[in-house]
Amino acid sequence: MKDKTFKMFSFHCVHQYILKLSSAVLICFILIFNNCVQHEKTTGSPPFVISQEQVSSFVRNFNPLIPSGSSRWPTVSGIYEPLFIYNSMTGIYVPWLATGYEWKDGNLQLDVTIRENVTWSDGQPFTAYDVSYTFNLKKTNAALDPRASWGYLKSVEAINDHLVRFKFLRIFVPGLHALTEQSIIPKHIWENIDDPVKFTNPNPVATGPFTEILRFDHQIWELGRNPHYWQEGKPAVERLRFYAYPTNEQATIALINGEVDWAGNFIPAIDRVFVGRDPENHHYWFPRVGGSIFLYVNTTKQFLDQVEVRKAISLAINRELIVRVAMYDYTIPAHPTALADGLAPWRSPTATENGDWVEYDIERANEMLDNAGFKKGPNGIRLLPDGKELFFDISIVSGWSDWIRAAQVISQNLKLVGINTRVKTRDFGAWLSSMQNGEFDMGIAWTEKGPTPYRLYRGLMSSEFLKPVGETAEVNWHRFASDEVDSLCVAFEKTSDKEEIKQIIYRMQEIFVDNAPAIPLFAEPSWGQYNTKRFTNFPTEKNPYAQISPNYPPENLLVLVNVEPK
Amino acid sequence: MSTSIQYLLRRLGFYAIAAWAALTLNFFIPRMMPGDPASIIFARFRGKLNPEAMVALRETFGLTDEPLLGQYFTYLKNLLSGDLGISIAYFPQPVTEIISTALLWTIFLAGTSLIISFSLGTLLGTLAAWKRGGRLDSFLPPALAFFGAFPYFWLAMVALFTFGFGLGWFPLRHAYGDAVTPGFNLPFMIDAIYHAFLPALTMVMVSLGGWMLSMRNTMITTLGADYITFARAKGLPSKMVMLKYAARNAILPNFTGFGMALGFVLSGALLTEIIFSYPGQGYLLLEAVRAQDFPLMQGLFMTITLAVLGANWLVDIAILFLDPRTRR
């Protein structure tokens, strides 16, 4: 009898009870949550939601000086401001906390005029003494000087409230860029900080358009307007909001759902996936202001050490196909000088003409390899002088699917000219260390970026960062150096004369095109998406007042002060 | 009783040695990975930082060229004083601070789903074995084995897509919503449960079958034992026979398994946390490995190691009470 009742209990009651309970709980949750959402929607004007950092949870850090990028995104592109902002769309230094600069004493002295009537967000006046304090703090803390400014600076001194004088150890004109883009911090706050390197600066006092932390939780935080901002009537946006999206997929879903107003993600098939969802409001713009993406070949390896071979490899690559298959036609094949649209005014006509090796011409590639003395073996693969078949790895970071597809195209292309390759994917750390140590055959990677092509060519061809195989080289992974480029770099560092600079850059391009130290593949687009449902006045192709991508601080300041609620 | 204490102390000694070995591996294995943290952070800027920045980066993180053995002793010394160092990826946040927030969410999510899945699975296993061949016994095990065969991240993605993205019943991400303030208040707690529901559900669905099957199988063996027949013959109530005689003995292997699983809770349900953007330990670990954040990795591995060992020790104690044979 007892057995029977227990059976009844176990088979009917438990089942039914669990079922009823769970559905009741479910309905409760849904009701409660819906109420919460409705409640939230009624308060205040809409926040401007930005998705740039992909993190699982936010850490409250607003230190604009530490180089590791571990402070929150707006720290150097909305909270703290630099002296000038380089606008990569126009190529102009926009005066920001400074109003002008002047080279003096044969380029050994730089006088910068500081803007008047600027106040810190706590109401204190901003002066040239804050600027000199910022730079001198970097002198005493090498960790805060990622641009190694004190390698060429002698002193930084405020002459009066509105004039700062930079004195140089040696002539180094390109140093101007690093000096202008330095975020300026308030002396009256930071002089009381014991260790500025480990200071997390939880409540920033700054000059930027947004300075007030309205809320800070690990998954969401909000940044409000600076009550004392120096630009009258700006910013028009009341507050910025940031959500923690740990992965690109999560960020993309939020963007598609219309929860994000401004983002800089890579989205596959964006016209269908993102724009198609709301064609009226969902927009993107991928200007090619970044650098170029390269196929690096290790010039210390037999075969790859020959200029003609590298040019032949380049000729064998079908860049149109790569751009279509790997990059969804978001970009275009690389220019022979590797200068993308943003640096197009610098292109040398001679170099452009000589750089015909970025075209797609299998026949010519085969011919060049034949002439170089690498005959095809019985399998159709070319042989080294010792009779071994050519075989190279193309190293790519695992999971970087766009570049993996590009490498697969290259691998197929190279087979047609008798070079056997294998696409080898590796974890980021392992990949990076093999590239930096020169222990690779071929690999796809980026280049250095800057306002002029100087940094690009210096990184690709000067001996300054050249290291023997086995030692870590931060740039110049392919290990190529030219004495002429070294002397051109020195000449470039010494001059502020526009015509002279142009001639130097032209000559660098010619050397690049003659030697093919690395093989440019396609221009690197800068990703930018925006939603015009709640906000307007984003930079667009028709109104390119700045570049749209939020991934380029401090240029993003230009967008933040111009975006307006609808 | 003194033999029991001796037994526990002996186990404790064993765990101490195991902890030391694990902590030593924690130190050396991450450092055997190719690359170094400063280079990786530099490379993440993809050309936006000059090579000159490397000096500043190494200076910031205090990376030294000190011999590894010297670093190892400093590491041990710091560990003993509870200093886990400063994270590199989240510079300059102390590792203890980063781990403590993630730890709570992981314990909440993975811990709750483990307890639900263990107790529900064990209960269902007991019932199924008690009435072998019944409806519960013939229907549930294959169904649960079916769900258990799915990789849990796959089930999580399907659940997220259907109930989150498609139907919009559940939130798509995070441990709590924007409208609530974290703290000891009712709306926050309800919201936290609401956010944990879907990830916890997928984890329970996948692991339930294992608990139920193992319980059912041991239970069936136990039910064949002479003392069960004797208990029945004595005329004891069947509920008592089932729970106090059969289940108590049959639960021992499951209980050991529970201890193991409890320890592994801290390693986080890595993929579930990533899919639901849940701010727990699992995702943190992935980030730490990607950035070669040695201090954070060491801290995370240490909490996991200590949790596994601690949970095992607790199981040792529990078994001592459940199983008189160990007391001899």
Residue A22 has pLDDT above 60, yes or no: no
Chain A residues within 8 A of B269 when measuring between CB atoms? none
Chain A residues within 8 A of B40 when measuring between CB atoms? 428-429, 432
Residues 156-175 of B with CB under 8 A from A: 165, 169, 171-175
Put simply, the answer to whether A29 touches B40 (Cβ < 8 Å) is: no
Chain A residues within 8 A of B98 when measuring between CB atoms? 59
For tokens 């409230």, name the residue: A161
Specify whether the CB–CB gap between A238 and A224 falls below 8 A: yes
Put simply, the answer to whether B51 touches A432 (Cβ < 8 Å) is: no
At B328 the pLDDT is: 60
Residue A249's closest chain B neighbor by CA? B275
Q: Which CATH number fits domain A81-190: 3.40.190.10, 3.40.640.10, 3.40.960.10, 3.90.76.10?
A: 3.90.76.10
Of A310, A333, A253, A318, nearest in space to A480 by CA: A310
Is B232's Cβ below 8 Å from some Cβ in A?
Answer: no
- In angstroms, the Cα distances linking B174 to A173, A219, A250, B299 are 48, 7, 11, 23
At B142 the pLDDT is: 86
* Averaged pLDDT for residues A21-48: 56
Residue A26 has pLDDT above 80, yes or no: no
Specify whether the CB–CB gap between A369 and A418 falls below 8 A: yes
At A27 the pLDDT is: 54
At A566 the pLDDT is: 87
At A10 the pLDDT is: 42
Chain A residues within 8 A of B172 when measuring between CB atoms? 250, 253-254, 257
Q: Convert chain B into a string of H (helix), E (strand) and C (coil).
A: CHHHHHHHHHHHHHHHHHHHHHHHHHHHHHHHCCCCHHHHHHHHCCCCCCCCHHHHHHHHHCCCCCCHHHHHHHHHHHHHCCCCCECCCCCCCEHHHHHHHHHHHHHHHHHHHHHHHHHHHHHHHHHHHHCCCCHHHHHHHHHHHHHHCCCHHHHHHHHHHHHHHHCCCCCCCCCCCCCCCCCCCHHHHHHHHHHHHHHHHHHHHHHHHHHHHHHHHHHHHHHCCHHHHHHHHCCCCHHHHHHHHHHHHHHHHHHHHHHHHHHHHHHCCHHHHHHCCCCCHHHHHHHHHHCCCHHHHHHHHHHHHHHHHHHHHHHHHHHHHHCHHHHC
Put simply, the answer to whether A67 touches B56 (Cβ < 8 Å) is: yes
At B157 the pLDDT is: 87
ipTM of model: 0.78
Is A446's Cβ below 8 Å from some Cβ in B?
Answer: yes
Q: Which of A219, A273, A426, A465 to mutate to test the interface with B (most CBs of B within 10 A)?
A: A219
3-state secondary structure at position A166: strand
* Averaged pLDDT for residues A443-458: 91
- The residues of chain B scoring below 50 in pLDDT are none
Q: Which of A18, A31, A68, A137 to mutate to test the interface with B (most CBs of B within 10 A)?
A: A68
Report d(CA B176, CA B106) in Å as an integer: 13
Report d(CA B116, CA B265) in Å as an integer: 13
Q: Which of B53, B175, B194 sits opposite A33 (nearest CB)?
A: B194
Report d(CA A303, CA A310) in Å as an integer: 9
At B268 the pLDDT is: 59
Put simply, the answer to whether A449 touches B53 (Cβ < 8 Å) is: no
Is B231's Cβ below 8 Å from some Cβ in A?
Answer: no
At A383 the pLDDT is: 93
Residues 10-39 of B with CB under 8 A from A: 33-36, 39
Is B201's Cβ below 8 Å from some Cβ in A?
Answer: no
DSSP assigned state of A341: G
Report d(CA B66, CA B73) in Å as an integer: 11
3-state secondary structure at position A211: strand
Residue A1 has pLDDT above 80, yes or no: no
At B315 the pLDDT is: 84
Q: Bridge-partner residues for A564, per DSSP?
A: A536
Residue A42 has pLDDT above 50, yes or no: no
Which pTM value belongs to this model?
0.83
Query: How far does the CA of residue A518 sit from the closest CA of chain B (Å)?
Result: 15
A229-283 per-position pLDDT tens digit: 999 998 999 999 999 888 888 889 899 989 999 999 899 899 999 999 999 999 9
Residue B139's closest chain A neighbor by CA? A11
Is A67's Cβ below 8 Å from some Cβ in B?
Answer: yes
At A531 the pLDDT is: 96
Put simply, the answer to whether B136 touches A146 (Cβ < 8 Å) is: no
Dihedral (CA of A534, A554, A97, A240) sign: positive
Query: Which of the four pLDDT bands, split at 50, 70 and 90, describes residue A43?
Result: low
At B104 the pLDDT is: 87
At B132 the pLDDT is: 84
Q: Which of A29, A66, A220 sits opposite B197 (nearest CB)?
A: A29
Q: Which element (helix H / strand E) includes A404?
A: helix A401-416
- Residue spans per domain, chain A: 8-58+208-287+528-565, 81-190, 292-523
Average pLDDT, rounded, for chain A: 89
A489-527 per-position pLDDT tens digit: 999 999 989 999 999 999 999 999 999 999 999 999 889
A285-337 per-position pLDDT tens digit: 999 987 899 999 999 999 999 999 999 999 999 999 999 999 999 999 999 99
Residue A464 has pLDDT above 70, yes or no: yes
Q: CATH homologous superfamily for A292-523?
A: Dipeptide-binding Protein; Domain 3 (3.10.105.10)
A415-425 per-position pLDDT tens digit: 999 999 999 99
Residue A451's closest chain B neighbor by CA? B48
Chain A with chain B: Cβ pairs closer than 8 A: 192
* Averaged pLDDT for residues A443-447: 94
Q: What is the CA radius of gyration of chain A?
A: 28
* Averaged pLDDT for residues A338-360: 92
At B260 the pLDDT is: 80
* Averaged pLDDT for residues A382-409: 92
At B257 the pLDDT is: 87
Report the topology of domain A8-58+208-287+528-565: D-Maltodextrin-Binding Protein; domain 2 (3.40.190)
A158-190 per-position pLDDT tens digit: 999 999 999 999 999 989 998 999 999 999 999
Put simply, the answer to whether A143 touches B56 (Cβ < 8 Å) is: yes
